[in-house]
Amino acid sequence: MNRIKLAIASDHGGFILKNNLYKNLLIKGYDIVDFGTNSSESCDYPVYAKKVCEAILNEDVHYGILVCGTGIGMQMCANRFKGIRAACVSDTYSAKMSRLHNNSNILTLGARVVGEGLAYDIVNVWLNTNYEGGRHEKRIKMLDE
């Protein structure tokens, strides 16, 4: 995988923000797969979190973005998958640090928590910050032990 590949998904609570982020990232030239949901009808966030986690663990994509009402359910579900490091973020500093120090491979957002403009900034920082490695590597490995 050379070009950055992304997966995105949401439940009904994150549906509108997810769609807008998807379109915005497509316009920016990212290779991005939308795993749904495809309507504002009530649905279960673990179903969609699982799809994105599996895409990452199968190496179909590099990173994932999950949106629900708070970002919390998506984060909880994603972090049950070994090898997934999901960060629920609502500010740009945490977005940056979750990449630099924690090598997060999933960003979760709360559509009822952050406005759309802030969500775009968070995603932009998150996608453009590289993991520092070094002293953090040992700690990252410990997460999966």
By annotation, the residues acting in catalysis are 68, 101
92-100 and 116-127 helices, crossing angle to 10°? 20
Q: Which SS3 state, helix, strand or coil, does residue 48 take?
A: helix
> Please, which residue, 15 or 63, has the CB nearer to ligand RB5?
15
Q: Residue 99 and residue 128: Cα distance in Å, rounded?
A: 9
Please, what is the minimum distance in Å from the beta carbon of residue 39 to ligand RB5? 14
15: contact with ligand RB5 by CB under 6 A: no
Closest-CA residue to 39 (of 15, 73, 21, 17): 15
Encoded one letter per residue, x for contact with ligand RB5 by CB under 6 A and - for no contact, window 38-77 reads -------x----------------------xxx-xx----
Q: Where do contacts with ligand RB5 occur on this chain (CB under 6 A)?
A: 11, 13, 45, 68-70, 72-73
